[in-house]
Each structure stands twice: as C-alpha cells, then as structure tokens.
C-alpha cells in the first residue's frame, strides 16, 4: 500500500489564535442539575476547524445554518445545520459535543448520569460516535440520547482529536476579546514546549505541520533518546499502514457503511437474542464444580479443592463479563445485578471497577496513553512508547519509566506468566480502592451499585476468608497453599484477557480511522474447536466481541463467520491464532520491547559516559 499518514492543518496564525481547553473530568453541566438530565437548548458558537482535520477556510460564513434561511425563524433550533467552525467554538468553550447519526448532541448534563463513566465519553468529544453508540447501546437508549440534540450536520463529519487526547480548539469569535490574555499565554507555552511537547496526533513541526509519529511522550532527558523512540514509532506506523486499508475518506467511509450493514444483518439473524438454555448449562456446570470443590474440602484434599475453586471462579467470570456488557438479558438493571452478584459476594471483586476500566478499553483499545488495560508499568511495557514516560489520560498521571521499570522490563518475557499468576490479588486491591474512593457512578440508575458491591465484598470475605479458609482448614501452611493455589489457577484467565491485545498494534493512526478497522487492528482472536468454547468462555472471540460487544457469548461463533466475510470484502486483516501460537506472539512481542529497552539503556549509558568525558571525569 505504501500510504504515508499525514494530517494537514490550515491556520491563519495572525487572525485565529489557538486555544487549548482542559476538559472537566466530570463534564460541565449546563443549567440546573435535576435527578434526570434536562433537555438542552442551542448554545452560541461558530464554525470549526481543527488540526488533524480537513477544515473549512476562513472565508466560510459565520452562520449556524447553511440552508433554510429563506424560512428564517421557521427552522427549529434542533434542526439548524451547524458548521464545523461552530462546533469547534462550542468545544473550545468547554462543552461536550458528539455527533450521532448526523445529529449534534451536547451531553454535558448527561455525563454525571452516564453509568459507563465519563472517560469513554471524553474520548468521543468532537467525533462521529455513531458506531460506538450503535454497538454499546440499544435503539431505545440511542433515541433517548437525541433529547440533547442542538443541531445537525450536513455531509460526512471529519473527526476532531478529542481534548482529552490533546486536541486543540479555537474559541468562537465573540470570546476572542475576552480571552486575549489567555490565548497569548497559551501561545507562549506552546512556543516554549514545541521541542518536547506532543499531542496524540503527531509531533508539531516548525512549519505548523503535524508529523504522524504520535509517541505521546513527555520531555526526555536527551534528544538522542527521543530520536530513538521516534524512529521506532515511525517504523511501526509505516509497517501498519502497509497492512491495513488507506485512511482516506472514501475507503474508510466504505468500511463504515459495510460495518453498519453487517450490524443490521446480525440483528436480522437474531444473533442479539440470548440463548438462555446455554446460560443454564453454564451455571449448572459452575454449581457442579463448586460441589466438587466442597467434596474435596470435606475429605481434606485441600490442594485439589483449591484447584476446583479457582476453576469455579474462572468459569463465573465469563458470565460476569457478559453481564457487564448487557449481553445476557440486555436489561441494564438485571444484567448488572447478575454481574455484581457473581463479582462481589461470590468472587470478592468489583464489577463497577472492571466496567470503569473496560469501557475505556473498548473505546481506545491498545492506545498506550489512553487504554488502562495495557498500562502495566513497572512490570510490563507492551510498546516502546512506555519507555518515554507517557502520561495516562485514564489515571491522570505520569507513568514513569523509572528504575524499577528499567530493571523489570528487560525480563518481561520471562516474568509474563509468573506475574499473571498473582493477578487476582491485584484485582482485590483495585476493587477496594474503587469502592472506598467512590469512583463509580453516584447519580442516575447506577447510584446504588457501590453500596451493593461493598456489602457483597464483605460477604465474600466472611464466607471465603473466615468460613472456608480459617474455619475449614486446620493449619496455617495448608491455608496458605489453599489460597495460593486457588488464585494461581485463575492465571489462564488473565492470559486470555491479555493475549488478545498485547501483541497487536498500539499505533495511533489519527482520528479518521473507522471504529471497525481500529478494533480489528488492535485485537486478535484465538482459534479453538467448538467443544472447547466453555474453557475460553467467549474470550477467544475478542475481535468479534470488540466489534459487537452486546452480542451474547454463545452467538459469537456464528457472528465470526459473518465478520470474516466482512473482512474479506473490505480488505482488513483478521488476526486469528491458535492458543499456543497467540501466546508465542505475545511473548515474542514482549521480548522485542525488551530488546528495544536494552538498546535505549545502552544509548543512555553512552550519553552518560560522554557527559563524564566532557566534564573531565
């Protein structure tokens, strides 16, 4: 293909100064804040243009509508055509604007009530989120979202880079005089940081272009280190572009249209309908495994009992995963109740914590600076960009490539399985941090989830910690072995979660890549015979699941056949490996990053020695 990824930016630097807005973490509500979000009226604003976006020129009229002017006031505010410049002004003013089915929605008042959290929405601001909303929400919910409509667009929308990802937006004309001082200060900051500051669409060059490197690194110690990381990123982007369809509007538009037709076909074939008998068999299997665990506990075969307990937890997690995506009954309350019951009182975990991270993972899959599911420093660096001290937009802090990381990352290919064997202990910690700090929804239909899970986790530690481990097992050593074995048996589950992504692309190809292509580029599936599906629990169809996350697990195999036809039609590679082959690819990818870490370490050592020589040491 040999396509070079380029982004253009048209800018009148004298008349249109840039303004950067830091988005409010919880969204900025407009008007009152009742229990249920109100309808929102049209707000003032102007046209839009954006770096990494093919934008209108400065000669574009400063109007909010390009049609229907002869009718004047007969045009409803919700039906007015808003130009890109108009929408940019709204976003620059701190408003949360998304495009869904050519409708312009301002959703600031809804964000505090969104049960999926605010982070996924922030990654969609300024973008056409039609596909993401289509696959994550029912038709009924999508229609309810249109209450926040403030206008509409004409033609195909050219995505902005969201503010949370480093997008820069110009304020509307009326605000320029009020914000002159702030703009000058921002321009001064940009000038000072031009050599070391990047946004997630590329590195800014002296001529105003955006180079498509997108390493998202903070200031490095030396230019040599930055040059090494940049060169590795360029090579990966070039290689990625040769493997996937071009990013031009026509090609991506065709992929989008066929992806939506596939969604309609999946619905027409009834693949969104849950097979409840299949779930009855799943829960019957889990009950049998739990009974076997109790039997071996009764005859004092504690280690064998621990194996079955770990297997029991792993099997239940698959159903909790389905419920968290509302892929069982498609009813928010019922599915979440199923998922939280499995996670908290039975498993000692928090479904809310998992959903908070997992929802973001599904929107910005494998993006090192955005996806919390691949941010595992100091233990793992799944991409060389983690060696550049990136800032996590999820954790809102620096992920330092510190001394501990520099010690562990070179050995990460060897540490991969041992660390995953202890993964469940980390889930306990993360769950309690989430619940104690109240990081989940506090408004709307999910306000009670936190308290349900706190009670559930207390119940778990009563029956497991006190009743099973302390009261049923006589010696401290036997208790220790029971706990360690039962937790380490869940290690394959953590492998199943990571094998689908760790070896796949982590490159940012810009805001114009279609949702379908990005999901298939960053996710692999695991090939296995149908009779082994219960072992993988649907996680072997992660690419299919990322395309259509609400499809029930037991329908994913049939959906896979339809997706394969779609991939052949549009020319997107479909990554499918056996379980052993997938593991080899992951370990090989980790080893390659370790090799890059060793090269960077040698570079740093050479620089240090050079500095010693220059100072006469």
**pLDDT recorded at residue 6:** 37
Residues 6+ apart with CB under 8 A from 561: none
What's the pTM?
0.80
Cα separation, 560 vs 585, whole angstroms: 22
**pLDDT recorded at residue 224:** 63
Residues 6+ apart with CB under 8 A from 344: 350, 351, 452, 453, 455, 456, 457, 459, 460
* In the predicted structure, residue 100 carries a pLDDT above the cut 90: yes
Both tokens assigned to 199? 């946004």
DSSP assignment of 412-452 equals: HHHHHHHHHHTHHHHHHHHHHHHHHHT-S--SGGGTTHHHH
**pLDDT recorded at residue 547:** 97
CB atoms closer than 10 angstroms to residue 283: 13
As a dihedral over the C-alpha atoms of residue 440, residue 443, residue 446, residue 449, rounded to 10 degrees, the angle is: 50
The domain ranges of the chain are 47-174, 279-405+414-501
* In the predicted structure, residue 31 carries a pLDDT above the cut 50: no
Q: SS3 for 99?
A: strand
**pLDDT recorded at residue 609:** 66
CB atoms closer than 10 angstroms to residue 616: 5
- The tens digit of pLDDT for each residue in 269-280 reads 999 999 999 999
DSSP assignment of 277-308 equals: HHHHHHHHHHHHHHHHHHHHHHTT-HHHHHHH
Arithmetic mean of pLDDT, 15-22: 40
Q: Which of 130-139, 200-209, 319-328, 381-390 has the lowest mean pLDDT?
A: 200-209
Query: Residue 226: which of 244, 239, 213, 237 has the closest Cα?
Result: 213
Helix residue ranges per DSSP H, 444-578: 449-460, 471-472, 476-488, 491-499, 515-522, 533-536, 542-547, 556-570
**pLDDT recorded at residue 357:** 94
Cα separation, 149 vs 433, whole angstroms: 36
**pLDDT recorded at residue 559:** 96
Question: Using the 8-state DSSP alphabet, how is residue 124 labeled?
Answer: T
**pLDDT recorded at residue 140:** 87
* CB-based contact 185:152 (threshold 8 Å): no
Cα separation, 132 vs 148, whole angstroms: 17
* In the predicted structure, residue 29 carries a pLDDT above the cut 60: no
- The tens digit of pLDDT for each residue in 372-407 reads 999 999 999 999 889 888 899 999 999 999 899 999
Arithmetic mean of pLDDT, 532-556: 95
Cα separation, 617 vs 612, whole angstroms: 5
Query: Residue 454: which of 358, 312, 351 has the closest Cα?
Result: 351
**pLDDT recorded at residue 141:** 87
Arithmetic mean of pLDDT, 511-531: 94
* In the predicted structure, residue 338 carries a pLDDT above the cut 80: yes
Q: How far is CA 36 from CA 110, 114, 121, 177, 321, in A?
A: 8, 11, 18, 36, 28
* In the predicted structure, residue 463 carries a pLDDT above the cut 50: yes
Q: SS3 for 42?
A: coil
CB atoms closer than 10 angstroms to residue 61: 12
Burial 434-467 (b: 16+ CB within 10 A, else e): bbeeeebbebeebeebbebbbebbeebeeebeee
- The tens digit of pLDDT for each residue in 561-608 reads 999 999 999 999 999 999 999 999 999 999 999 998 888 878 777 766
Arithmetic mean of pLDDT, 456-474: 96
* CB-based contact 118:111 (threshold 8 Å): yes
Looking at the domain 47-174, which fold is it? Answer: Flavocytochrome B2; Chain A, domain 1 (3.10.120)
In the chain, % of residues over pLDDT 90:
65
- pLDDT confidence band for 178 (50 / 70 / 90): low
In the chain, % of residues over pLDDT 70:
77
Report the mean per-residue pLDDT for the chain. Answer: 81
Arithmetic mean of pLDDT, 458-467: 96
Helix residue ranges per DSSP H, 194-222: none
**pLDDT recorded at residue 608:** 66
- The tens digit of pLDDT for each residue in 478-497 reads 999 999 999 999 999 999 99
- The tens digit of pLDDT for each residue in 195-248 reads 333 343 343 333 333 333 344 434 445 566 667 777 778 888 888 888 999 999
**pLDDT recorded at residue 174:** 55
**pLDDT recorded at residue 233:** 80
Task: Pick from 77-81, 91-95, 480-484 the range whose average pLDDT is largest.
Answer: 480-484
* In the predicted structure, residue 40 carries a pLDDT above the cut 90: no
* Residue 1 or 329, more confident: 329
**Radius of gyration (C-alpha) of the chain in whole angstroms:** 26
Both tokens assigned to 106? 């301002």
């Amino acid at each position: 293909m040999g396509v070079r990824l380029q982004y253009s930016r048209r800018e009148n630097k004298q008349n249109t100064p840039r303004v950067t807005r830091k988005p409010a973490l919880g969204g900025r509500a407009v008007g009152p804040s009742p229990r249920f979000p109100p309808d929102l009226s049209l707000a003032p604003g102007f046209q839009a243009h954006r770096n990494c976006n093919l934008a209108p020129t400065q000669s574009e009229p400063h109007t909010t509508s390009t049609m229907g002017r002869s009718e004047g006031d007969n045009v409803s505010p919700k039906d007015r055509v808003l130009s890109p410049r108009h929408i940019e002004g709204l976003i620059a003013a701190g408003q949360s604007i998304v495009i869904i089915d050519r409708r312009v929605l301002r959703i600031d008042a809804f964000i505090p009530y969104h049960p999926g959290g605010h982070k996924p929405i922030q990654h969609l601001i300024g973008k056409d989120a039609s596909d993401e909303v289509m696959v994550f929400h029912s038709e009924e919910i999508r229609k309810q979202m249109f209450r926040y409509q403030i206008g509409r667009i004409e033609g195909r929308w050219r995505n902005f880079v969201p503010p949370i990802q480093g997008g820069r937006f110009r304020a509307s004309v009326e605000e320029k005089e009020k914000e002159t001082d702030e703009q000058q200060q921002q321009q001064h900051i940009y000038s000072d940081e031009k050599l070391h500051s990047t946004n997630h669409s590329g590195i800014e060059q002296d001529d105003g272009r955006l180079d498509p490197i997108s390493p998202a690194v903070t200031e490095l110690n030396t230019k040599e280190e930055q040059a090494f990381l940049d060169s590795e990123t360029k090579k990966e982007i070039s290689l990625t572009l040769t493997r996937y369809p071009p990013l031009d509007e026509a090609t991506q538009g065709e992929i989008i249209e066929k992806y939506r037709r596939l969604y309609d076909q999946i619905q027409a074939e009834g693949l969104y309908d849950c097979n409840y008998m299949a779930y009855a068999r799943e829960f019957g299997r889990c009950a049998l495994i739990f009974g076997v665990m109790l039997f071996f506990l009764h005859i004092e075969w504690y280690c064998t009992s621990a194996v079955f307990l770990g297997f029991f937890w792993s099997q239940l997690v698959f159903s909790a995963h389905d419920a968290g995506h509302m892929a069982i009954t498609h009813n928010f309350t019922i599915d979440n109740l199923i998922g939280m019951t499995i996670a908290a009182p039975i498993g000692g975990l928090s479904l809310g914590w998992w959903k908070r991270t997992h929802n973001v993972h599904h929107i910005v899959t494998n993006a090192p600076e955005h996806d919390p599911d691949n941010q595992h420093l100091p233990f793992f660096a799944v991409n060389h960009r983690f060696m550049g001290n990136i800032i996590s937009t999820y954790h809102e802090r620096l992920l330092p490539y510190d001394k501990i990381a520099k010690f562990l990352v070179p050995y990460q290919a060897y540490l991969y399985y041992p660390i995953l064997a202890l993964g469940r202990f980390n889930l306990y910690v993360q769950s309690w941090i989430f619940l104690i700090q109240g990081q989940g929804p506090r408004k709307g239909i999910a306000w009670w989830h936190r308290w349900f899970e706190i009670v559930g986790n207390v119940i778990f530690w009563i029956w497991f910690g006190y009743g099973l481990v302390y009261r049923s097992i006589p010696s401290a050593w036997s208790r220790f072995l029971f706990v360690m074995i039962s937790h380490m048996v869940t290690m394959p589950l953590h492998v199943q979660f990571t094998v689908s992504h760790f070896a796949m692309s982590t490159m940012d190809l810009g805001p114009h890549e279609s949702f379908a292509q990005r999901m298939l580029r960053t996710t692999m599936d695991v090939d296995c015979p149908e009779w082994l599906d219960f072992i993988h629990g649907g996680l072997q169809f992660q690419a299919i699941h990322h395309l259509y996350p609400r499809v029930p697990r037991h329908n994913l195999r049939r959906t896979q056949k339809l997706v394969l036809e779609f991939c052949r039609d549009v020319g997107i590679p479909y990554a499918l490996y056996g379980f052993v082959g997938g593991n080899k690819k992951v370990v090989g990818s980790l080893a390659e990053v370790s090799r890059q870490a060793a090269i960077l370490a040698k570079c740093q050592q050479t620089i240090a020695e050079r500095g010693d020589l220059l100072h006469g040491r």
